[in-house]
Structure 1
Amino acid sequence: MSAEPSSAGELLTVRLHTPIAEITIGNGTKRNALPGAEWTRLQHSIQELAEGGTTRAIVLRGHSGTFCAGSDMTEWVGAGAETVEDSFARMEAAFRAIEKCPIPVVAEIHGVAAGAGCQLALACDLRFMADSARIGMPIARLGIQTSPAFAARMVALAGPSLTRQLLYTGRLLDASAAVHAGLAEHHLPEAELGEHTARVLTAITEQPPAAVRAAKRAVAATLAPTREATRHNDQTAVALTDFRNTMATLFP
């Protein structure tokens, strides 16, 4: 199989192993947190793969043993409200591109999937976690206001009660608890995770592609009322005073 890195930049790499595409998030620094421009590149990469015609499944992995710690907060230091809002809009566009993608997208999670990294995983069709991995939304402490779309992804998988607990407290779930809660499908020892993901991807690509696409559309149709309801949201992304105080504390 050929493997061709994309030109999207060092923080996002796409390799084609037809009929499977692999997207690697980050370069191992900042726990693979992404700045706003890279979320847009992720959105466009997903859309291009969906339109290419030869890709039948996509896997998302993080670089160097962690998945994604969310957004690169250093670009928010001293930033105005418009810059922060733009960053969150870029993230959400990437998540929605995954959800709209007509082919299955699988998240292979090592290390931490937190904040926007958690949302990235939840937007995927399937999630497999290393035993040592953790997932959650520790965003309230930063002054980030949970959007309806953020909440809806978690509620759809884990239900409202656990979603409230995780959003209110910022607690991260370990892999076993995440699977029990419905936030992931399977957890395995670190060394076995890649092989398991490869088996599932192979099984997907062995099915008739039209039937797989129809299955994804059918599941998406059941979620459509909730997803559409979250599109119209006038809430700001952050409580600005709390957010600025947090940024000043984290990046003095």
Structure 2
Amino acid sequence: MRVTIKNTENDGNISLQESGGFAIVTINRPELKNALTNRMWVDLKAVGKRITQNPKNKVVILRGRKKLFSSGSDLKQFNELSIDEANDAFRMMEEAISTFERIPLPTIGVINGPAMGAGFQLALACDIRIGTTNTLMGFPVGRLGITINQAFAKRIADLIGKSRTMDLVYTGRLLKPQECYDLGLINYLLDDDTDVNHYAIRLGKKIIEQSSASVLAVKRAVSFNNPTVSIPWETGLSESVDPVDFPEGVRSFVEKRKPNFKGKGHQ
């Protein structure tokens, strides 16, 4: 099923395609580098919440149209806002970004181009990120007088450390593909001969083959000490094995076959 939330501002929209266990979310405003308007941030949050309502969804893929991810928020729109309206807009950005961060499913970001500012934050909200030779990441907020909140700063610092986070803001420099990979901002760096969208699907299928109980447990566990992320589901954190998937996983290993998991998330 394909759902598109239309936006009348320069035809920007957020689309959601649900099929074969995948929820594929696409930011569509390529003529303006997929910059999100305030309305698009609201729509993105709504799409994130919609994904969790479909029990058939197993993996989320977040991407931008063409060889782009997102340049962040539409700065031209910010020029028309009051200070109070701008602060409200940043709160909505964080709500949309954290909605995807907290989705109780594995999330894959396809960073096939620039991911800047709030677009950079949205990319970091994904569990796994796939980069290409077009990937460019940065957080050049200093030239705009933006004072970032704790949640924004922590997403970066958790991956690259405090000093590098401060360096990004102090200098406003942009990170090229290899540096993004070396710093752990992207998990996979593809060459020009590899179709990034097909690669994301193959990676998602590999994830779907795993025990959903294991996948969800590690997502919850790694977020456990992060005060900015509250994972809204239970995965038996006090236990070390899933009562359904663990016996099947061990049995399939002994029998040298692929497991047929039916535990949490496989209903």
Shifted more, 125-134 versus 113-122: the winner is: 125-134
Supply the RMSD in Å over aligned alpha carbons.
1.6
Q: CA deviation digits over 1:173-196, x for unaligned, max 9?
A: 111101111111111124412232
Note if 1:4 corresponds to 2:2: yes
Gaps of 5+ in 1: 229-252
- Paired residue secondary structure (1:79): coil
Which of residues 137, 140, 151 in structure 2 aligns to 1:138? 140
Q: Distance in 2 between matches of 1:55 and 1:89?
A: 28
Contact 1:110 1:132 in 2 (8 A): yes
Q: Distance in 1 between matches of 2:188 and 2:164?
A: 19
Q: CA deviation digits over 1:9-42, x for unaligned, max 9?
A: 4421111122011111122121000011211111
- The residue that corresponds to 1:41 in the other structure is 43
Gaps of 5+ in 2: 231-267
Contact 1:35 1:75 in 2 (8 A): yes
Query: Which residue identity does 2:28 align to in structure 1?
Result: G
Query: Which residue identity does 1:177 align to in structure 2?
Result: E
What does 1:16-31 align with in structure 2 at a 5 Å threshold?
16-31=18-33
Contact 1:4 1:14 in 2 (8 A): yes
What does 1:1-252 align with in structure 2 at a 5 Å threshold?
3-9=1-7, 10-192=12-194, 193-222=196-225, 224-225=226-227, 227=229
- The residue that corresponds to 1:245 in the other structure is none
Q: CA deviation digits over 1:45-89, x for unaligned, max 9?
A: 111101211101111111121100000112122321111011101
Which is richer in helix? 1
Q: Distance in 2 between matches of 1:55 and 1:210?
A: 15
- The residue that corresponds to 1:241 in the other structure is none
Number of matched pairs: 225
Superposed displacement of residue 6, structure 1: 2.9
Q: Distance in 1 between matches of 2:6 and 2:205?
A: 26
- Paired residue secondary structure (1:200): helix
Shifted more, 156-165 versus 76-85: the winner is: 76-85
Contact 2:23 2:61 in 1 (8 A): yes
Query: Which residue identity does 2:218 align to in structure 1?
Result: A
Q: Distance in 2 between matches of 1:187 and 1:220?
A: 25
Contact 2:29 2:35 in 1 (8 A): no
Superposed displacement of residue 227, structure 1: 4.8
Query: Which residue identity does 1:219 align to in structure 2?
Result: V
Q: Distance in 2 between matches of 1:169 and 1:34?
A: 24
Contact 1:27 1:64 in 2 (8 A): no
Q: Distance in 2 between matches of 1:60 and 1:225?
A: 24
* Structure with larger RCO (C-alpha < 8 A, sep 6+): 1
Higher Rg? 2
Query: Which residue identity does 2:176 align to in structure 1?
Result: D
Contact 1:110 1:190 in 2 (8 A): no
- Paired residue secondary structure (2:52): helix
Contact 1:26 1:68 in 2 (8 A): no
Q: Distance in 2 between matches of 1:204 and 1:8?
A: 31
Superposed displacement of residue 221, structure 1: 1.1
Query: Which residue identity does 2:3 align to in structure 1?
Result: P
- Paired residue secondary structure (1:55): coil
